[in-house]
Structure 1
Amino acid sequence: MIADLEREPVFIVPYDPEWAMWFTAERERLLIILGSRAASIEHIGSTAVPGLSAKPIIDILLCVGDMSDRSSIISPLVAAGYAYVPEYEETLPERLFFYRRQPWACHVHLVRTDSDFRQRHLLFRDYLLIHPEACAAYARLKEDLAKRFRHDRRAYTDGKNEFIRALEIAAAAERSRGLTGC
C-alpha cells in the first residue's frame, strides 16, 4: 500500500477555494464516524493555506485523547472507506495514517492531542497563514521540486524537509516571544 502512494506522480496545482469545502465535508464525515473520540479535526498542509499552490490532497489532522485502543479507531475508519497504512508507523510511531481517494483525495493523520506531530503541523500552517513571503518561497520550492522529482515522491518530500524545519523553528521562536498567533 505504501508503495502505491509513493509511486503517484507529484503535481502541484494553483490554490483551489474548494479545498476548504472538501475539508469541511470530510471533517463532518469523520465526526459522524468517530463521534466524541475525535477531540479535534484540523485542516493542515498546503491546501489549508489560501493562495498556496499544492498537491490536490486534503491533509487532515485528526486528534484523539487516547490511542491505547487503536482498533476502536482504526476499524470504523477502515469500514468507512479509509485505507490504513501501518507501514508509516515505522518512521512516525506517534501517528496513524489513513487515506481516501473518492470523492477527493485526502490523507488523515491521526495523533494524540498532546503530540509533537500535532504541534509542529499547526505551527507550520499558522506561520504560512501570516507570513506571505514564506508562503511564496514555499510555493516556489514545491513547484521546483515537483518538476525535478515528478516521479519520485520521496525525493520531493525530502527536498522540502530543510525548509519546513527552518519555518518550524521560526514559528516556535515567534510563539515563544508572543509576536504572532502561532
Structure 2
Amino acid sequence: MAERTRDIEVVPYDAEWKEQFNNIKEMITGYIGDFILKIEHVGSTSIEGLAAKPIIDIDVVIESYSVLPEIIDRLAKEGFEHQGSLGVEGREAFQRTFDDGYMKYHLYVCPKDGKGYLEHIALRDYLRANEAARNDYQSLKLQLAQVYRYDIDKYVHAKTKFITDILHKTIYRH
C-alpha cells in the first residue's frame, strides 16, 4: 500500500523540486528507459510558484499495458514494490522499498491514453497557464492542510470539486 501521509504539510514552492525530479527521472530511465515513451513531472510540485506537499509525483508513460510485466519485474529488481492501481484507473503505483536518498516521491506507470495520466497532465498544464486558478488552488490547499492536518482522506476529498471543475474545463468539456 502506498505510504500514507501522517501529517499534511503544504510548503512554499521550492525550485529544488525540479532538480529532484530530474535526478529521479534519470534513475528511472536507467532502469526501464527502453520500455517507456517519457517521464512526466506531475502534481503540485511540478507547478512553479504553487505551494505543495513536498512529495514529487511522477508519471512514467508507456505505449500500452503489454510492457507492464517487464517493467514490474525490472523495477522489483531495483527495489520497487508494485502496488497496483490503488483504485485509480489508468495508472499503476510503485513504492521504493528502501530510502534511496531522494526526497519523497510517488511513482506511477501509466499508458499514454490512461485516464490517470491524462487527468494529471490536464490539471498540471491548466494550473501552469492560469495564475488565478493556481492562486485559488494554493489558498484551498493551505486552508485544507490546517483543517485536515492529520486526515489525508478528508484533505484529498475536499480538493476533489476544485480539481473536477478544472478537468471539466479541459479534457471533459462538452
Global fold match (TM > 0.5): yes
2:140 counterpart residue number: 141
1:16 counterpart residue number: 14
Contact 1:99/1:105 (8 A) holds in 2: no
1:47 counterpart residue number: 45
Shift of 1:169: 1.3
Separation in 1, partners of 2:95, 2:147: 25
1:97 counterpart residue number: 93
Separation in 2, partners of 1:99, 1:141: 28
- Helix, strand or coil for the counterpart of 2:40? strand
Counterpart of 2:171 in structure 1: which amino acid?
Answer: A
Contact 2:54/2:104 (8 A) holds in 1: yes
Separation in 2, partners of 1:75, 1:28: 19
Alignment gaps of 5+ in structure 2 = none
Alignment gaps of 5+ in structure 1 = 177-182
- Helix, strand or coil for the counterpart of 2:4? helix
1:180 counterpart residue number: none
Would you say 1:130 and 2:115 are equivalent positions? no
Counterpart of 1:126 in structure 2: which amino acid?
Answer: D
Contact 1:6/1:152 (8 A) holds in 2: no
2:25 counterpart residue number: 27
Identify, as 1 or 2, the structure richer in helix.
Answer: 1
Q: What is the CA RMSD across the aligned residues, in angstroms?
A: 1.9
Q: What number of residue pairs does the alignment pair up? A: 171
Shift of 1:173: 7.2
- Helix, strand or coil for the counterpart of 1:108? strand
Per the normalisation by structure 1, the TM-score is: 0.86
> Structure 1 residues 65 and 173 mapped into 2: Cα distance closer, same or farther (>3 Å)?
closer
1:86 counterpart residue number: 84
Shift of 1:171: 2.5
Shift of 1:34: 0.2
Per the normalisation by structure 2, the TM-score is: 0.90
Counterpart of 1:23 in structure 2: which amino acid?
Answer: F
What is the CA deviation profile of residues 63-115 of structure 1, one whole-angstrom value per residue up to 9, with x for unaligned ones? Answer: 11121353311122232233332371xx2243110234532111011110111
Separation in 2, partners of 1:93, 1:171: 18
Separation in 1, partners of 2:23, 2:5: 27
